[in-house]
Structure 1
Amino acid sequence: MQWYAVYTKPKREDAVAGSLENAGIEVFNPRLKQKKYMQGAYRNKISPLFPCYVFVKFEPETTSHMIKYTRGVKRVVGGDFPWPVSDEVIDLIRNQEEDGIIAIKPPQLKYGDSVAINDGPLAGLKGIFEKELSGQERVVLLLSAVEYQARVVVDKAFLVMA
Structure 2
Amino acid sequence: MKRWYLLYCKRGEQVRAKQHLENQGVECFYPTVEVEKILRGKRQKVEEPLFPCYVFVRFDYEKGPNFTSVRSTRGVVDFVRFGAQPKEIQGDLVFELKQLETYTDEHSNSECMPQPGDEVRVKSGQFAGIDAIYQEQDGEKRSIMLVQMITKHVPVSINNSDLDLK
TM-score, L = length of structure 2:
0.67
Q: Are positions 1:11 and 2:12 aligned together?
A: yes
Q: Provide the alpha-carbon RMSD of the alignment.
A: 3.6
1:69 matched to 2:72? The reply is yes
Equivalences for residues 107-118 of structure 1 within 5 A: 111-114=121-124
CA distance in 1, matches of 2:106, 2:77: 25
One-letter amino acid matched to 1:31: T
Are the structure 2 counterparts of residues 140 and 99 from structure 1 closer, same or farther at C-alpha, using a change threshold of 3 Å?
closer
Cα distance change of structure 1 residues 137 and 151 upon mapping to structure 2, 3 Å threshold? closer
**Residue 165 of structure 2 corresponds to residue 161 of structure 1:** no
Change (3 A) 1:8 1:60: same
**C-alpha separation between the residues in 1 aligned to 2:21 and 2:157?**
45
Question: Partner of 1:87 in structure 2?
Answer: 91
Q: What stretches of structure 2 of length at least 5 have no aligned partner?
A: 115-119, 148-153
Q: Which residue of 2 aligns with 1:42?
A: 43
Aligned length: 141
Distance change (3 Å), C-alpha of 1:140 and 1:88: same
Residue 31 (structure 1) shift: 1.1
Residue 27 of structure 1 deviates from its aligned partner by 0.5
Q: Which runs of 5+ in 1 are unaligned?
A: 116-125, 144-149
Q: Which entry has the higher C-alpha Rg, 1 or 2?
A: 2
- In structure 2, C-alpha distance between the alignment counterparts of 1:132 and 1:2, rounded to whole Å: 52
In the alignment, the residues of structure 2 paired with residue 86 and residue 4 of structure 1 have an alpha-carbon distance, to the nearest angstrom, of 9
Partner of 2:6: helix, strand, or coil? strand
Shift of 1:91: 1.0
Shift of 1:160: 5.7
Query: Would the alpha carbon gap of residues 160 and 112 (structure 1) be closer, same or farther in structure 2, given more than 3 Å must change?
Result: closer
Q: Secondary structure at 2:68's aligned position in 1?
A: helix
Kindly, what percent of the aligned residue pairs are identical? Answer: 24
What is the alpha-carbon distance in structure 1 between the residues aligned to residue 60 and residue 14 of structure 2? 20
- Give the Å deviation of 1:103: 7.2
